[in-house]
Structure 1
Amino acid sequence: MLKSENIVIRVSNQKPETMDKISNFVHYLCWSSEHEKLSGAFSKMRAMIESTFPTEDVNTIEDVSKLILVDGLDVQKFIDTRKELVSVKAILTSLNEKGCNKITFSDLNNTDKIFLTLQAHTAVKAIKLDKSILAKEDGTNYDFSPLIEKWVKSGQGLSNIKKSLSKVFSNIVGEEGDLFYPVKVKGGDIPETDIRQFFGAFTGNAGRSGKDKKGVYTWVTDYSEKRVLNALTDLFAVIFESGNCETIKPEETK
């Protein structure tokens, strides 16, 4: 299970007296994700138990002699998951009392959501940026798939994708929020070394081809939007903490 000590808050562009709120919202995102994961696992085990013992209260059942009769149930995993779920719910209740919940997070402006998401992602990989970050001013979306595929196959196009990635990053972190000041990358563009690391998310994996996974053993390629968003979140989270970003204070904007 997620540990609180693994949720690290390391920001430098926070506004005065906002750190407690930032920390609480990052913890909310992390523990909400943990709650979702545990709830999914618990629901499957609940269904298994209720199909065997329909009158039992799954939240309180302790009789191991009964639980071991449930076909396919990992009894210890069920007990651990139920206990962890109770702990996570208590944490979320505490955060709710501090004003951090689904509604208050949704009410934040996009800039604050971006920075909070990037920080939470460093503790929980499942937390990633929304596909809305790919939107262009003309209403279309950035599609990195062709650029990534071109680089993987030929090693060409690095400068083009560097410009596009830098543009996306500037777009999502360049506005002022209520909790955060905007930032900009020193020098204007994301360093090439970081771009090459970004490409690493799409290389190096091998497996059987075909939907049935029974084809030839070859390099597996996945340039899907989901994969791209995961890699983008990693890249932007690294850039945010890299020391390559400058905070833009109000007196600096003209």
Structure 2
Amino acid sequence: MLKSENIVIRVSNQKPETMDKISNFVHYLCWSNELEALSSTFSKMRSLIECTFPTDNVDEINDLSKLILVDGLDVQKFLDTRDQLKNVKAILANLDNVGANKVTYNDLNSTDKIFLTLQAHTAVKSIKLDKSILVKDDGTNYDFSPLISKWVESGQGLSNIKKSLSKVFSNIVGNDGELFYPVKVKGGDIPDSDVRQFFGAFTGNAGRSGKDKKGRYTWVKDYSEKKVLTALTDLFTVVFESGNCQTIKPEKPTAEK
């Protein structure tokens, strides 16, 4: 269960008087994700109860003598999930009252969504960057799998993937938002140490090979887009909070003499 105290806001490129909005939107992202997860779990339990007691209101049923008759139902988990859903819905209602909801979030530009996503990711790992960040200027997509594979297999290609990762990061954080100023990495490129940590997401896991998972026990190689996006979100969040980024503010006009 998500806890409010685990949602930490640590930004340095916010525009004046936007911290409340930033905090509200980050909380909205986190609690919306929590609502989705709880709703999925609750929906399955609701179906079990409705099969046994089709006329009862699942949102209000409290008779334990009835609930224990439902085949396959974890009664305590059901009661806890229902209470958690009520609490999360109340939190989202309060956020809606201060202007943080699906409509207002969708109205933000891509730069603001990027920074908000990076902050929300620190509390909820399943919140990650969208695959649109992999689109190049010419419309083609970055494909990191060959570069990752080369490094894992031979330890070569660090400089090439560092350039590509730095380019993607620069593209997504280098424009002005309504809530955030753009940023850039000091020195231009993401440090080698961070890139090596990025590679770590694709190494060290082992399992049975084959679709049936009954083959040889070997190293698992998953360079899928989903896996890459998760690793990129981790990398870019670390870089953003590392103190190695410089905020780009507009130059103040010089006074006319």
Fold in common (TM above 0.5): yes
Partner of 1:163: 163
Listed one character per residue, the Cα deviations across residues 33-53 of structure 1 (whole Å, up to 9, x for unaligned) are 000000000001111111111
Q: Is 1:138 the counterpart of 2:111 in the alignment?
A: no
Q: Could you tell me how far apart the structure 1 residues matched to 2:152 and 2:72 are?
A: 43
Partner of 1:102: 102
Shift of 1:56: 1.2
Shift of 1:207: 0.8
Give 1:108-147 correspondences, 5 Å limit.
108-147=108-147
Q: Could you tell me how far apart the structure 2 residues matched to 1:187 and 1:221 are?
A: 32
Give 1:14-93 correspondences, 5 Å limit.
14-93=14-93
Q: Could you tell me how far apart the structure 2 residues matched to 1:94 and 1:171 are?
A: 34
- How high is the sequence identity, in percent, across the aligned residues? 81
Q: Could you tell me how far apart the structure 2 residues matched to 1:232 and 1:53 are?
A: 47
Q: Report the secondary structure of 2:246's partner residue.
A: strand
Listed one character per residue, the Cα deviations across residues 87-118 of structure 1 (whole Å, up to 9, x for unaligned) are 00000000001111111100000000000000
Partner of 1:224: 224
Structure 1 stretches of 4+ moved >3 Å = none
Q: Could you tell me how far apart the structure 2 residues matched to 1:214 and 1:73 are?
A: 32
Give the TM-score normalised by structure 2.
Answer: 0.97
Q: Is 1:199 the counterpart of 2:184 in the alignment?
A: no
Give the TM-score normalised by structure 1.
Answer: 0.98
Instruction: Give the aligned residue type for 1:111.
Output: T
Distance verdict in 2 for CA 1:9–1:229, change over 3 Å: same
Listed one character per residue, the Cα deviations across residues 48-75 of structure 1 (whole Å, up to 9, x for unaligned) are 1111111111101111111111111111
Please say which of residues 61-70 and 228-237 is displaced more in the overlay: 61-70
Q: Could you tell me how far apart the structure 1 residues matched to 2:9 and 2:35 are?
A: 20
Q: Could you tell me how far apart the structure 2 residues matched to 1:185 and 1:226 are?
A: 25
Q: Report the secondary structure of 1:189's partner residue.
A: coil
RMSD between superposed Cα atoms in Å: 1.0
Aligned pair count? 253
Q: Could you tell me how far apart the structure 2 residues matched to 1:241 and 1:126 are?
A: 19
Q: Report the secondary structure of 2:87's partner residue.
A: helix
Q: Could you tell me how far apart the structure 2 residues matched to 1:97 and 1:149 are?
A: 48
Shift of 1:252: 7.8
Q: Could you tell me how far apart the structure 2 residues matched to 1:37 and 1:68 are?
A: 24
Instruction: Give the aligned residue type for 2:212.
Output: D
Partner of 1:211: 211
Partner of 1:243: 243
| Structure 1: gaps spanning 5 or more residues | none
Q: Could you tell me how far apart the structure 2 residues matched to 1:211 and 1:55 are?
A: 43
